[in-house]
Amino acid sequence: MERHEYDVVVIGAGGAGLRAAIEARQQGKRTAIICKSLFGKAHTVMAEGGAAAAMGNVNSDDNWMVHFRDTMRGGKFLNNWRMAELHAKEAPDRVWELEEWGALFDRTKDGKISQRNFGGHEYPRLAHVGDRTGLELIRTLQQRVVALQQEDEREHGDPEAFIKVFAECTITRLLKDGDAIAGAFGYWRETGDFIVFDAPAVVLATGGIGKSYVVTSNSWEYTGDGHALAVLAGAKLINMEFIQFHPTGMVWPPSVRGILVTESVRGDGGVLRNSEGRRFMFDYVPDVFKDKYATTEEEGDRWYTDQANNRRPPELLPRDEVARAINSEVKAGRGSPQGGVFLDVSSRLPAAEIIKRLPSMHHQFKELADVDITREPMQVGPTCHYIMGGVEVDADTGAASVPGLFAAGEVSGGMHGSNRLGGNSLSDLLVFGRRAGLGASAYVDGLPARPAAAEVADAKAEALAPLERTGGENPYEVHHELQRTMNDLVGIIRKAGEISEALQVVEKLKERSKNTGSSGSRVYNPGWHLAIDLRNMLLVSECVARAALLREESRGGHTRDDFPVMSADWRQKLLVCAAAPDGSGVTVEEKVQPSMRGDLISLFERSELEKYLTEDELAEYDAAVK
Ligand code: FAD
C-alpha cells in the first residue's frame, strides 16, 4: 500500500487548509495537503462577497471592538468569545498578508483595499474582489504554496520536500496510536488505490455538511467528512443544531435550486419584495435589533449614501432573520411564482454598475435561468449554506480534545455561535487556519517520539465493504431519503415531533446504509464513494437532529416552532456531541459555556446584554464595569 510520512497532514485544501499548511511549512514541518476534489476547487473558491476585517478603510470608525461586537450579536452571544476576539483582532493582518502574497483586492478612490457592506456588519468591512473574492483568496494561497515549493527546490533540490499536495484523494479514517493521532487513511478517487499517511498531527479543514440537505448551496464534496472523522477518532462536536440557511438561493430552474445568490446584491442596494410588491423586511425587525435598523424605506435608502445619519435597511439584518422572514412570506402565500420572493437590483442601480459590481451574479442568472438581473428581479429563497457547529477546539491553537488533532475553518465550531455573519468565514479561515498550523507544529515539536499508526487493516476493510456486498441497497436512494428528511423535518423551522420523526428515519437509514453496495470496481466509482460518504452524512445528521431536539429555544440558525423564544438559560449551554460508547451512534450532552472576560463584556451596553444574559451574568457584568 502506498505510504507516506509527514509531520503535519492537512485534510482539506480550502482557505483554512491552505493557510494551515503554509504555516506548518513555514515552521519547518514536512506537510501534506490532501483534498477530495481537484486542487483549487473548494468551497472557498465559491465565496463571493468578501472577507470581513475591521481595517477601517471605508469608515475609519471601524475597529476590532466593533467587529467583535457585531460577531457576538450575529451569533446571539453563543459564540466562543475568545475565538471572536482573536478573529476580530487578527483578521486585518491576515488580509494585508494576502495582499503581500499577491492578492489584488478592489480599491477605494484613494487606493486602499475597498470594503463593502454586508448583513450584520455595522460598517463597510468586507475586503473583496468583485463578487469573486474566494477565487482570489485561493489563487493567492496556492501561489504562496508554489512559492514555498520553489524555495524548497532551490534549497533541497525537490519542490515537494516540505509541502506536497495530494488531490482527488479522500480520507476515510484517522489513525491513532493509543489515544493520540498517528495519521490518516484514504483512497485515490481515480484508481481506488489505498493510501496511508503516517503523521503525529492532523489538521481537519474539510469544510461543511450541506449535502445532508436537498436544497443547498454546497457542492458534492460537502458530506461532513471532517466532522465525522473527528467524532470517530474520539473528539467532540459543538453547536451542531445551528445551521445557516442562506436567505437567497436560486429557486428556479429546479436543476440549480439552492445555488447561492450573494448577499452583496443586498449590500449593494438590492431589495426584497413579496408578490404584492411590498418591501416586507420592514415587518420582520426583531426587538433586539430595532434601534439599529431603518423603519422607513426612505431612511433605509438614504443609508447607502449617508451611513452616519441613517440606520441600515432591514434587508441587511443577519441571515437567520432574513431567511425566516422569506420563509414566512412564502408560507403566507405572498411568494414569487416559483416559490421564493423577489430580489431586485435592476430598479436600484444602473445596468453597467450591476455588471461591474456583480459580474458572477449577472452571468449566473443569464446562463442558468435566462434572467437578466439588470432588467428584472431574481427569485430567491432559503438554502442550506453553512454549519456553525463543528469540532470543539482550543481557540488559540485549534487543538481538539484528541492529542494531535486540530481543526480550522467551517469544520470547527464555536467562533460563529448560533449564526455566522457573512464575510466572517473567509477571515475565520485565515485567522484560525494559521493558528491551527502553528498549533500543530508546536505539538509536533513537543513530542518525545513519533506515534505508530495502527488500525490500517480495519480502515481498509471498512472502505472495501460496499464493494463486497453484491445486490446491496442503492446508496443514492439512501442519500436522497436522508436529504429529504433533513430538509423537511430538521430544516429552517423545527418542532419536537418532526425532529423525533427524523431521528427515527436516520436510525432506519443507518441500518440500510450497512447494506449499501455498489457494483463495479474501485476505478473511479462514484457509487462506491457515495456509499463511503453516507457513514459521515448519517453521523452528522444524527448530531444535528439530536442537538436540535434538545435545545428548547430559538436562536440564530435554530428555530423551534414549539419554543419560539430565545432563552438566557440556554445561552449558557453548549450541546456537545460525541461517539456513543457502544458504537451505536452519537450522544449529546449539555456543557456550560465559560463567562465572557470582563474587558470584553464591558464593550457592550448593559441595556443590550439584558436581552441575552441571565441575572447572574448581568451581576458579573456589573462587577466588571465597576
Ligand atoms: P472548504 O473551502 O469547503 O474546503 C474543504 C476542503 O476539504 C476541500 O478541499 C475538500 O475537497 C476537502 N475535503 C473534504 N472532505 C475531505 C476528505 N474526506 N478527504 C480529503 N479532503 C476532503 N464566506 C465568506 O466569508 N464570504 C463569502 O462571500 C462567502 N460566500 C460563499 C458562497 C458560496 C457559494 C458558499 C458555498 C460558501 C460561501 N461562504 C462565504 C462560506 C465559505 O466559503 C466557506 O465557509 C469556507 O470557504 C469554508 O472553507 P474551508 O477552508 O473550511 O473549507
pLDDT in tens, 152-197: 999 999 999 999 999 999 999 999 999 999 999 999 999 999 999 9
pLDDT at 48: 83
Distance in angstroms (rounded) separating the CA atoms of residues 33 and 246: 29
Pocket test for ligand 1, best of 39, 41, 43 (most atoms within 8 A of CB): 43
In the predicted structure, residue 320 carries a pLDDT above the cut 90: no
Confidence band (pLDDT; 50, 70, 90) for 97?
very high
- Taking alpha carbons only, the member of 329, 318, 422 closest to residue 379 is 329
pLDDT at 428: 98
CA distances from 561 to 104, 361, 365, 611 (A): 45, 34, 34, 20
pLDDT at 57: 96
Distance in angstroms (rounded) separating the CA atoms of residues 502 and 481: 10
Tell me the one-letter amino acid at 500: S
In the predicted structure, residue 131 carries a pLDDT above the cut 90: no
Q: Which residues line ligand 1 (CB under 6 A)?
A: 11-17, 34-37, 42-44, 46-50, 133-134, 170-171, 205-207, 217-218, 221, 225, 260, 386, 409-411, 422-426, 429
Query: How many other CB atoms sit within 10 Å of the CB of residue 406?
Result: 32
Pocket test for ligand 1, best of 9, 10, 39, 44 (most atoms within 8 A of CB): 44
The ipTM, to two decimals, is 0.99
Strands (E), 74-124: 115-116
- Taking a C-beta distance cutoff of 8 angstroms, is the pair 48, 249 a contact? no
In the predicted structure, residue 586 carries a pLDDT above the cut 90: yes
User: Which residues sit opposite 588 in a β-bridge?
Assistant: 577
pLDDT at 307: 87
pLDDT, the chain, mean: 95
pLDDT at 471: 78
The label of the residue with cell 448519517 reads 538
Query: How many other CB atoms sit within 10 Å of the CB of residue 525?
Result: 17
Distance in angstroms (rounded) separating the CA atoms of residues 534 and 547: 20
Least confident of 253-262, 545-554, 597-606: 253-262
What is the mean predicted confidence (pLDDT) over 476-502? 95
What is the mean predicted confidence (pLDDT) over 145-151? 98
Distance in angstroms (rounded) separating the CA atoms of residues 556 and 387: 11
Catalytic residue among 125, 266, 416, 420: 266
- Taking a C-beta distance cutoff of 8 angstroms, is the pair 202, 183 a contact? yes
Nearest residue by C-alpha to atom 4 in ligand 1: 14
CA distances from 265 to 130, 261, 271 (A): 11, 8, 8
Distance 286 CA to ligand 1 centre (A): 30
Tell me which of 255 and 316 has the higher pLDDT: 316
CA 560 from chain centre, in angstroms, equals 22
pLDDT at 450: 96
Predicted TM-score (pTM) of this structure: 0.93
pLDDT at 472: 82
In the predicted structure, residue 626 carries a pLDDT above the cut 90: no
334 exposure class (CB count in 10 Å sphere: 0-12, 13-18, 19+): middle
In the predicted structure, residue 81 carries a pLDDT above the cut 90: yes
Q: Three-state DSSP class for 126?
A: strand
pLDDT at 187: 98
Q: Which atom of ligand 1 is nearest to the CA of 223?
A: 15
Confidence band (pLDDT; 50, 70, 90) for 426?
very high
pLDDT at 87: 98
- Taking a C-beta distance cutoff of 8 angstroms, is the pair 533, 516 a contact? no
User: Which residues sit opposite 2 in a β-bridge?
Assistant: 195
